[in-house]
Copies of this chain bind each other. A is one copy, B any other.
């Protein structure tokens, strides 16, 4: 199991940034494993991800903040430090479809997804047996037009109770309220079953079929207040033809959804994503 630190930086672009950061890390003898940076011309921002081995790093991580803050202040940095041994605590939201859930759980158990999964929340009983098989508590909270606010309050109480800091919507067929999404900024990942911005909203496969597109897609994105409008993390497509019925598209799409969702999630778990404006920078 690796023992590394990852520093994510987002600040106005200025000269001397890389030198300042590199010197700081070199002072404490960091063995840099990966470093990536990006200058966003539109926003004039500098974004950086640097990961180093903690084995022979000469600074105690508890003291990192105090040591680094002067540099951060000098360059007006937003920064986050992530330790590989501190796992995300992830909740999965699911409805009736189980293909993304089963895929995520198999990947998680095989070690491909590095996180704790303290609970799964659903508005239906259907997927409980999968949660049981993988030994994860399963909470059913029914959601309907009347009880939505109350249901979300119960969900958020559970999330808080379990220290959840990442939520994956694995084909959860409910729209989250602005209050909910505001509580988890860039902490809710959804899989939408179209290549956004085409076919946002409901029934994308039906609409793709009606339009006669020759490619269907899936999009992993952060959930924001506006439906299907958050920063896009990853997209994939697969060919369609006149022979495909709506059911065929739905079935083909499931293959995409699994792959695109799990890839989006893995990048988040590896601290590879920075958000800049309404876009993502993926340091893969």
Q: Which residues of A contact B (CB under 8 A)?
A: 15-16, 18-19, 22-23, 25-26, 29-41, 98-99, 102-103, 106-107, 110, 112, 129, 133, 195-199, 211-215, 217, 231-237, 239, 241-243, 245, 251, 254-255, 258-259, 262-263, 276-282, 284
**Closest beta carbon of chain B to A31's beta carbon, Å:** 6
**Closest beta carbon of chain B to A122's beta carbon, Å:** 16
Chain A binding surface, main DSSP class: mixed
Whether B41 lies near A29 (C-beta < 8 A) is: no
Whether A212 lies near B15 (C-beta < 8 A) is: no
Cα(A71)–Cα(B18), bound, Å: 17
Residues of B within 8 A of A262 (CB): 255
Whether B195 lies near A197 (C-beta < 8 A) is: no
Residues of B within 8 A of A279 (CB): 211-212, 242
Return the chain B residue nearest A14 by Cβ: B31
Return the chain B residue nearest A275 by Cβ: B212
Residues of B within 8 A of A198 (CB): 195-198
Cα(A241)–Cα(B276), bound, Å: 13
The CB with the most chain B CB atoms within 10 A, among A16, A33, A281, is that of: A16
Neighbour of A22 across the interface among B18, B231, B284, CB < 8 A: B18
Cα(A262)–Cα(B195), bound, Å: 23
Cα(A187)–Cα(B278), bound, Å: 40
Cα(A34)–Cα(B46), bound, Å: 10
**Closest beta carbon of chain B to A222's beta carbon, Å:** 11
A-B contact pairs, 9 of them (CB 8 A): A16-B26, A19-B22, A34-B39, A40-B242, A129-B133, A196-B211, A214-B233, A242-B282, A258-B258
**Closest beta carbon of chain B to A150's beta carbon, Å:** 32
Residues of B within 8 A of A245 (CB): 41
